[in-house]
Structure 1
C-alpha cells in the first residue's frame, strides 16, 4: 500500500476550501492509518474525529490522536462501554451516537453508578421522503422534530447522560456519484434526488433545531455531510461541522462528482507472478472488493500501467488476478501493477504497513490499524 502525500495534502486543502470556514471532522473509517489521521488533524480547518466504533474511539483517545471523538454509529459493545464509564477523561472526550432509548439502557447495564456522565448525540434520519418512499441510508428511525424531541426529553430525564450534539448524514447526497460519463441518464436522476434532498433537509434541520432549543437543549455541534457534499452541507446554517474522509484518499467511487475533482492518493501494488499467454499477465492476489451493493464498481481498478483490464471470468481474485489489455504483453514476471480500491479506508484492513510517498521518494513507513494489532 502506498499513499501519495502530495495528493493527500492537496485533497485536504481542497476540502478546507470547499468547507469555507466550517470545521471538518475527519471520518476515520475512510482513513484507518493513525499517522495520516494525525497529519490531517494538524492542518488548519480540521478538528476532531468521526470514529466508527467505540473501541476505536477509546484507542484514539488513549494514544492522543484526538481529544474530540464522536462515534458515528450506536454501540452495544458492553466491554468498550465499561471502559468508557470507568474513565472520566475518556468520557469527557468521546461522544456516543444514539437514536433509541435502548442505546441508553445498554450504557446503564454496564455501570453501577452515574458518577461519570456520558456524552451523547442524536442521529437523525436525513433521507428523502418522496411518494411514500425513503431514499437514503437506512440509519436512524428518527425523522421529524417530534421524534427527536421525544428522545431528547428521555435523555434529559436519565441520570448520567448529557445531550451535546446531533447528526444528519445525507448519504444519498454525499456518497453517490452524479456525473458518471457512461451513466448520463442515471446521473441526471441522482442530481435531481440530491437537489430535492437538500431542499427538504434544510427545512427539517431548522424545525428540529428550533424544537430542541425550545426544550432548553444546548448542542455543542451539529454534524452532517461527507466528502461529496461539503459545499451543499455547509450552506445550511444549522450545520456547525462537516464530516469528510474519502475525499482525502479519493477512491474510484469518488471519481465522478460535479462538486469536486480529487487527486487519487492511495494505491496498492501487486507483482506479476506468471504469463499464461502473450496477451495475459497474472498478478498475485488483489481481490479487495469494496462493501456495498455488489457490482463492477466495487471491484478494484488496475491503474498503472494504464490500459489494463480485469477479465470477465475471474475478475479480481483472492490469490491471483489475470489482466488483459495492451500493456499486459509488455509486463515481465516480477513487475508491479498498481491498483486503486473502490472505497477509502477498507484496503488498509489487508495490510500492516503503508509506504508514504513524497515527490519521487518514499519517506516513511507507517502502520495501519491492523499493523497496530487492531481490528475494529
Structure 2
C-alpha cells in the first residue's frame, strides 16, 4: 500500500507561509492513510494507542473515533493517565510500573468513579504495594503482568531491559501470586517484542547489518510466538483468565497479528511516521508529522543555516536519532555538525531557490519528541491549514 502523491516543498511552504518559525504540523491526509494502514496490518486485533508517540489529547481522540477497533490508550505515566481520564478518555493501560503513593491513590479514586485504568507490574513488590493501597482505599485494582520478550542468540542479547519475568514458569508463578491477593485482579498480559517493533531492517548502505537484523528478527519472532502460546496454554490449564493479551508495535504488526493468543496490539509511532520507520522492510508509513525551521544564514553556496532544529530522539545516541531534513528533497545535515539546539546547517544543491527566511521542513527520528517541543500542531489538509490543536506541552503537561 502506497501513500500516493508525495508532498512537494512548495505545497507546504505556500500553505504555512504566514506562520512564524519554528512550527510543527500534522498532515491529516497522511495521518488518515497511516490509520487505515495500521488497521489493515493489524488484522482483526484491537489496537491500543501508545500515547508516548502521540502526546496530544486531540489526536488521541481523532484516532479513537476513526474505528471501533481503536480501543484504549497505553500511557507512559501514571500522572498522564490521571489527566487523560479527567479529559474523558478511558481504558487506560499504564505501560510502566507505578510506585509513587500519590499517583496510586489518585488512580484509586478514578477507578472508584468507574474509570478503567490498569497498573503494570513485573515484580511481587509492585503487586504488594498496589495491593496495600487498594486495601486502604477499599477498591479492586486491575493489573497487567509484563513479561520479557527479549531473546538471546549465540550470546547476543536481542531486546530491551524491561521485565525480569522472563520464563513461562516465572510468569505463571507471578499470575498465581496476583490471584492470591485481595483487592487486585489480573486484567491482562503484555509481552512487547521491542527488538522486532523498534529495530529497522532495511537501512540504506548497511546491507550486512540488515541481513543480520533480519535473521535475528526471524529467529526471535518464532521464539516469541512459541513463548506466548505456551504461556496462554499454561494459564488456561490453571483456569486463570484475563481480558487482554497485548503485544506488538508499529514495526511488528505483520508478525504479532498472526498469533491467535494475542487479542490486542499497541501502536504509536506509525500514526506520525517518523524517520526511523523509513528503514523497515515490510511496510511504509506516510510522513504525517514534522516541523519547519527558518533559514537565517547563508555561510557558503549550497549551505543554509537554520535557527534551532536539534530535537534529538531518545535512546542510545547515534546519527539515527537525529532529526532529518525532509523538504526540499535532497537536503541533508552536515556530518560534522548534525542538528543543533540553536542552529542547524543544511546542505542543499537542488532546484529550489532557497533564501533567508525560507523554511526547511524536518522530521523527528522518533515520534515522541515532536510534541515535547511545540505547543501546537498546525493541521494541513487539501493544500491549506485547516486548524490547530494543542500538544501535551500546550496543555501545560510535563510527565517525565
What TM-score bracket applies, with the shorter chain setting the length? Answer: over 0.9
Task: Indicate how the Cα distance of structure 1 residues 252 and 368 shifts in structure 2: closer, same or farther if over 3 A, else same.
Answer: same
For 1:199 and 1:99, locate their aligned partners in 2 and report how far apart those are by CA, in whole Å: 23
Matching of residues 87-98 of structure 1 within 5 Å: 87-89=110-112, 92-98=115-121
For 1:68 and 1:181, locate their aligned partners in 2 and report how far apart those are by CA, in whole Å: 40
Q: Does 1:243 align with 2:262?
A: no
**Equivalences, count:** 375
In the other structure, the counterpart of 1:53 is 77
Q: 54-63 or 126-135, which moves further after superposition?
A: 126-135
What's the offset of the Cα at 1:345? 2.1
SS in 1 for 2:106: helix
Residue 207 of structure 2, aligned match among 180, 184, 187: 184
Tell me, yes or no, if the aligned pair for 1:81 and 1:107 is still in contact at 8 Å: yes
Q: Does 1:82 align with 2:105?
A: yes
Q: 111-120 or 28-37, which moves further after superposition?
A: 111-120
What's the offset of the Cα at 1:313? 2.8
For 1:338 and 1:228, locate their aligned partners in 2 and report how far apart those are by CA, in whole Å: 25
Matching of residues 89-108 of structure 1 within 5 Å: 89=112, 92-108=115-131
* Consecutive unaligned residues in structure 2, runs of 5 or more: 1-23
Residue 223 of structure 1, aligned match among 246, 264, 271: 246
Give a deviation string over 1:99-154, Cα, whole Å, max 9, x none: 00111233245566251111101000111132344311111111112101111122
RMSD: 1.7
In the other structure, the counterpart of 1:19 is 42
Residue 214 of structure 1, aligned match among 218, 234, 237: 237
For 2:114 and 2:281, locate their aligned partners in 1 and report how far apart those are by CA, in whole Å: 40
In the other structure, the counterpart of 1:168 is 191
Give a deviation string over 1:298-333, Cα, whole Å, max 9, x none: 111111112222223321111111122215993221
For 1:92 and 1:120, locate their aligned partners in 2 and report how far apart those are by CA, in whole Å: 14
Q: 240-249 or 98-107, which moves further after superposition?
A: 98-107
Tell me, yes or no, if the aligned pair for 2:25 and 2:378 is still in contact at 8 Å: yes
For 2:72 and 2:352, locate their aligned partners in 1 and report how far apart those are by CA, in whole Å: 48
For 2:172 and 2:356, locate their aligned partners in 1 and report how far apart those are by CA, in whole Å: 63
What's the offset of the Cα at 1:277? 2.6
Give a deviation string over 1:8-31, Cα, whole Å, max 9, x none: 000110110111111111111111
SS in 1 for 2:367: coil
SS in 2 for 1:2: strand
SS in 1 for 2:136: coil
In the other structure, the counterpart of 2:370 is 347
For 1:83 and 1:114, locate their aligned partners in 2 and report how far apart those are by CA, in whole Å: 10
SS in 1 for 2:394: helix
TM-score by length of 1: 0.96
Tell me, yes or no, if the aligned pair for 1:91 and 1:119 is still in contact at 8 Å: no
For 2:302 and 2:156, locate their aligned partners in 1 and report how far apart those are by CA, in whole Å: 49
Q: 301-310 or 242-251, which moves further after superposition?
A: 301-310
Matching of residues 62-77 of structure 1 within 5 Å: 62-64=86-88, 66-77=89-100
SS in 2 for 1:372: coil
Q: Does 1:41 align with 2:53?
A: no
SS in 2 for 1:141: coil
For 1:274 and 1:131, locate their aligned partners in 2 and report how far apart those are by CA, in whole Å: 51
Tell me, yes or no, if the aligned pair for 2:135 and 2:183 is still in contact at 8 Å: no
* Consecutive unaligned residues in structure 1, runs of 5 or more: none
Residue 380 of structure 2, aligned match among 357, 360, 367: 357
In the other structure, the counterpart of 1:4 is 27
What's the offset of the Cα at 1:201? 1.2
For 2:365 and 2:308, locate their aligned partners in 1 and report how far apart those are by CA, in whole Å: 16
In the other structure, the counterpart of 2:393 is 370
Tell me, yes or no, if the aligned pair for 1:281 and 1:328 is still in contact at 8 Å: no
In the other structure, the counterpart of 2:299 is 276
TM-score by length of 2: 0.90
SS in 2 for 1:330: coil
